[in-house]
Chain A
């Protein structure tokens, strides 16, 4: 029997944690560890290292879940300003890696400020909408759009098209959920569609154009950029219905897959567990997203609703884009599979988002008087 005071302490410790969501997250993480072991060719070291990432991320989630909504709102603006300052700092003193200036060296640690902005931008936009007029006017949308476009522009310059696009999307979700009229949205879509060719000609680096061309026809460059997509499709396709079995995927075990433990970890999973495994994994993600949507729907304030909705839909977007990318229906844009891919940064960002959701759900719902 557990002594009642320990039970009480435990209850106190976990009072801001949503158990349902946590269970889904843990199941996905466990799946991630199992696949990672196979993807690294049986490396316990990588699994342990990922386990540490998970523990750190869970601590972050716990801390964030314990922050009341009001304090979170107060942090939005300062965090946004900090994020912009860091991005400018990157542009001025950043380290160049793989041809892109993304990292800021702070002596002890290297940080990638664009990662921080994935959370901060929707937070800031939601904060703005919350503070704006009760009935939102078009001017509010314009200002929100400017809040969004400033960091996006800085990140595109790095260049880091993938992250910029994701932040753009998470910002778009905020605007969409805030209730931007359908007419304006359609107008926006048309504008984007029209401006795409212009972006293609003037706004893109060669490697970005190449990625898109490769997506349209991977076999065009079978040994170059298309190699990843082709090998990944082979891995998934050859997995069949039941899969080849854990640790038995030839594509992954024989190093035909690029980045098998990060961006392409889903190919490893898919090859070894087949369509059945894929369906179970999709269902698991769907359950987690569903729970997040429920939390969003019951969020008390506009700020909470918009933040929760944006985080949920962004999480979904990660899953969709990653799976779409490795299965060859979307271009290869370095996006990890949330909760499964190896890597500390993305793990922390994702769980930070879930922490916010939990905080929204578990803190007393204050009704404005």
Chain B
């Protein structure tokens, strides 16, 4: 019995089991069908979409940074160049304990306290995700040593960067300027200017000087490379490439020899020198002393060096030639003389007996001449040769401030010359409107008198003074002062000469011009204020001395250099051109706290001119008293 039941049960069970197995088999097929449907959807219907995504995954655009343009002086001496240096960089975000890691790093390669200070400054200025240099200019040995230990330092990498180098250092620092690392602020500016794309991959940007004003020419065109990358972003191979185009090479009109001569002629003096070619406005020399080493700034200057430069009493970062404003003093007089002649207030023959002072009608206040007791009979020629103050007090009074402002303004006083480096100061040529605006006070007749000798509210830069002198030297032709003579464009492959622009021309009577030039020539001859500097020249030169007051001398007191603190002594000025017949150079020398123009500034100008015409390099000057 049980056998039969069992057998029946067994058959039933087997049937049941087979049914379930068939259901399972159907389930298998259905679910495989589902997989196939999914594959069909992904690989046929969505293929294009996923192919695009796969391409986007693997292809990355990498910038190819162009070489920055080189800068040469007019004779081909290199002033700014590039070289490749290995830099060790850290991404702060990827390093847990930054200080400890840097300490550990210092056991492998040398990290100076200066490196740390510079790194900390950069860290403050940038986001945590940016790769920042901790050490630059690694030696081959250091590169190898770090590479061995790299696994210990995640977030750090060695990168080869082109670095900027300024071989002449301090000598041309105020002209060339320097480049610095691109900051977040720069990025915003580049984005606003729609230039950001070209800076994808660039690390540096021009900060001041030529490097800044010619940034777009020097930077070049960034190239691009399509590379296949792996999931971590490492390039595997190159797919296509747009070659970068190096920035334009610039040739400056600057003569590095003349620059050197000027710096040497200055000796220990602080001050400025600007020399222009009066036939086209090219800058031949541009000195602001003291200078600084621009190479310090390229990698981001460290805090200590920055403080040393920024807080120095000598203010080496101040570009005196471009932004230093000083009362022009007696160097203002030739322009006053021309104003008197042109506006009919003086004739060439007019002369008066100088009592040594001038007083306004109905006033007892005496505007004193620098020479107590006066110069005797003074005409226009003598007024310039011996630099008579009284003549110009009277002339200023006769012209009135509006005439002075109108006429002298044409020589460029009170406005920028438009030179091709940034940051130029406009100086100040005062007018009643200006005084009202500035001080909310009315112009007083007495204000006019000191303007006549370049004092009072008058302020101008050495560059402005040189520009004005250029107009006098070349009979009224105003050229825009400029540094860049020529650009070599690697993209279009041609040489671009800077167009020399005659900005405007003053219509001045030749007779007057010649008379003033003759008088200025006599300044450098026996009897003139610069006679010592002008002795025994192989060429003719004309000039005007000036003394620019730093502090006001009270009524009834006399200026006595020996009694005054050195930093409060007068600035010495001399502005000149040579040769007189056909001027090839016009220059201005300003010596801060140098005393009188004739004794300090003019001899320095002479040395520079001697180098220019004769090629004699001056011995460094002895500093007076």
B58 is an interface residue with CB less than 8 A from chain A: yes
Q: Are A254 and B231 in contact (CB under 8 A)?
A: yes
Q: How far is the CB of A183 from chain B (nearest CB, A)?
A: 15
Do the beta carbons of A236 and B42 come within 8 Å of each other? yes
Interface hub of A231, A254, A270, A329 (most chain B Cβ within 10 A) = A254
Q: Does A293 contact B (CB under 8 A)?
A: yes
B contacts with A: majority SS: helix
**8 Å CB interface, B14-66 against A:** 16-18, 20-21, 24-25, 28-29, 31-32, 34-36, 38-40, 42-44, 46-47, 49-51, 53-55, 57-58
In this assembly, does A305 line the interface, its C-beta being within 8 Å of a C-beta of chain B? yes
A251: which B residues are within 8 A, CB to CB?
A: 54, 57-58
Instruction: Mark A233-262 against chain B: 1 for CB-CB distance below 8 A, else 0.
Output: 111111111000000001100111000000
Contact (Cβ within 8 A) B44 A238: no
| A274, closest chain B residue (CB) | B43
Q: CB distance A309 to B21 under 8 Å?
A: yes
Instruction: Check A211 for interface membership: any CB of B closer than 8 A.
Output: no
Within 8 A of B (CB), among A280-311: 282, 285-286, 289-290, 293, 296-297, 302, 305, 309
B17, A305: Cβ atoms closer than 8 Å: yes
Query: For B54, what are the chain A residues with a Cβ–Cβ distance below 8 Å?
Result: 234-235, 237-238, 250-251
B21-A297 in contact (CB<8A)? yes
- Which of A45-53, A66-74, A77-85, A316-324 contacts its partner? A316-324
Q: Which of A116-154 contact B (CB under 8 A)?
A: 134-135
CB–CB B17/A237 < 8 A:
no
* A-B pairs, 6 with minimum CB distance: A237-B50, A238-B54, A237-B42, A255-B231, A254-B230, A275-B43
| Residue A327 is within 8 A (CB to CB) of chain B in the complex | yes
- A260 vs B47: C-alpha distance when bound (angstroms): 21
Q: Known: A236-B42, A254-B231. Contact between A302 and B13, CB under 8 A?
A: yes
Between A and B, 9 residue pairs with Cβ closer than 8 Å are A177-B21, A238-B54, A240-B43, A240-B47, A254-B57, A256-B230, A275-B43, A282-B32, A323-B35
B20, chain A: closest CB distance, angstroms: 5
Residue of A nearest to B23 (CB): A176
| B202 shortest CB reach to chain A, Å | 28
Check B124 for interface membership: any CB of A closer than 8 A.
no
A70 to B236 Cα, complex, angstroms: 59
Q: Nearest-CB distance from A317 to chain B (Å)?
A: 9
- Taking a contact as CB atoms closer than 8 A, the residue among A173, A254, A290 that contacts B236 in the complex is A254
Return chain A residues, CB-CB under 8 Å to B43.
236-237, 239-241, 270, 274-275, 278
Contact with A along B209-248 (1 / 0, CB 8 A): 0000000000000000000111110001000000000000
Give the total number of A-B pairs whose CB atoms are below 8 A apart: 123
Known contacts A237-B51, A250-B58, A275-B44, A329 near B38 by CB under 8 Å: yes
Residues of B within 8 A of A285 (CB): 32
Cα A206 to Cα B206 with chains together (Å): 52
For residue B18, which residues in chain A have a CB less than 8 angstroms away from its CB?
297
Specify which chain A residues have a CB less than 8 angstroms from the CB of B35 in the assembled complex: 282, 320, 323-324, 327
In contact, B229 and A237 (Cβ under 8 angstroms): no
Which of A135, A238, A279, A309 neighbours the largest number of chain B CB atoms within 10 Å of its CB?
Answer: A238
* Minimum distance in angstroms from B373 CB to a CB of chain A: 90
* B57 & A237 in contact (Cβ 8 Å cutoff): no
- A34 contacts partner chain B, Cβ-Cβ < 8 Å: no
Residue of B nearest to A312 (CB): B24
* Contact between B6 and A134, CB atoms less than 8 A apart: yes
A237 and B20 within 8 A (CB):
no
B497 at the interface (CB under 8 A from A): no
A312 to B21, CA, bound (A): 10
Chain B residues with CB below 8 A from A364, complex form: none
B47 touches A238 (CB 8 A): yes
Shortest beta-carbon distance, A59 to chain B, in Å?
29
- In the complex, which residue of chain A has the Cβ closest to the Cβ of B45? A237
- How long is the Cα–Cα vector from A309 to B25 in the complex, in angstroms? 10
Q: Is B402 an interface residue (CB 8 A)?
A: no
Q: For residue A353, give the distance in angstroms from its CB to the closest CB of chain B.
A: 16
Which residues on B sit within 8 Å (CB–CB) of A286? Answer: 28-29, 32
Q: Residue B28 contacts which of A237, A239, A316 (CB distance < 8 angstroms)? A: A316
A179 interface contact, C-beta 8 A: yes
Q: Within residues 533 to 549 of chain B, which ones have a CB less than 8 A from any CB in chain A? A: none
Assuming the A-B contacts A289-B28, A309-B24, are A179 and B42 also in contact, with contact meaning beta carbons closer than 8 angstroms in the complex? no
Which residues does chain A contribute within 8 Å of B49, judged by CB atoms?
237
CB distance from A133 to the nearest CB of B (A): 10
Q: Is B305 an interface residue (CB 8 A)?
A: no
Chain B residues within 8 Å of A255, by CB: 230-232
Whether B50 and A256, one on each chain, are in contact in the complex, defined by CB atoms closer than 8 angstroms, is no
Partner of A293, one of B21, B50, B55: B21
Does A313 interact with chain B (Cβ within 8 Å)? yes
- Interface flags for A214-238 (1: CB within 8 Å of B; 0: not) read 0000000000000000010111111
**CB-based contact B57/A250 at 8 Å:** yes
Q: With the chains together, A228 CA to B51 CA distance in Å?
A: 17
Residues from chain A with Cβ under 8 Å of B21 in the complex: 177, 293, 296-297, 309
Residues of A within 8 Å of B230, CB to CB, are 254-256
Residues of A within 8 A of B40 (CB): 275
Q: How far is the CA of A135 from the CA of B17 in the complex (A)?
A: 13
Most-contacted residue by chain A among B6, B32, B49 (CB, 10 A): B32
Q: Hey, which chain B residues are within 8 Å of A239, CB to CB? A: 43
Q: Which residue of B lies closest to A313 (CB)?
A: B24
State in angstroms the CA–CA spacing of A239 and B53 once bound together: 12
Residue in B20, B25, B31 whose CB lies within 8 Å of A176? B20
Q: Is the CB of B36 within 8 A of A282?
A: yes
Cβ A135 vs Cβ B9 within 8 A: yes
B79 CB → nearest A CB, Å:
46
* B residues near A297, Cβ cutoff 8 Å: 18, 21
* CA distance in complex: A305, B51 (Å): 46
Q: Which residue of A lies closest to B7 (CB)?
A: A368
Evaluate contact between A238 and B20: CB separation under 8 angstroms.
no
Within 8 Å CB of B20, what residues of A? 176-177, 179, 309
Cα separation A135 to B21 with both chains bound (whole Å)? 19
Smallest CB–CB gap between A277 and chain B, Å? 10
Partner of A254, one of B36, B38, B46, B229: B229
Contact B58 A254 (CB under 8 A): yes
State whether B36 touches A279 (Cβ < 8 A).
yes
| Closest-CB distance, B120 to chain A (whole angstroms) | 31
B50 touches A327 (CB 8 A): no
A305: shortest Cβ distance to chain B, in Å?
6
Chain A residues with CB under 8 Å of B24's CB are: 173, 176-177, 293, 309, 312-313
* Closest CB in chain B relative to A208 CB, distance in Å: 24
CB distance from B31 to the nearest CB of A (A): 5
In the complex, per-residue mask of B495-536: 1 if CB is within 8 Å of any chain A CB, else 0: 000000000000000000000000000000000000000000
Supposing A254-B236, A286-B28 touch, asked if A238 and B39 sit within 8 A by C-beta, the answer is: no
Q: Are B57 and A234 in contact, CB atoms less than 8 angstroms apart? A: yes
- Complex Cα distance, B581 from A67, in Å, reads 122
| Residue in chain B with minimal CB distance to A276 | B43
Tell me the minimal C-beta distance from B22 to chain A in angstroms. Answer: 9
Which partner residue on chain A sits nearest B20 by CB separation? A177
CA–CA, A305 to B21, complex, Å?
10
Q: How far is the CA of A282 from the CA of B39 in the complex (A)?
A: 11
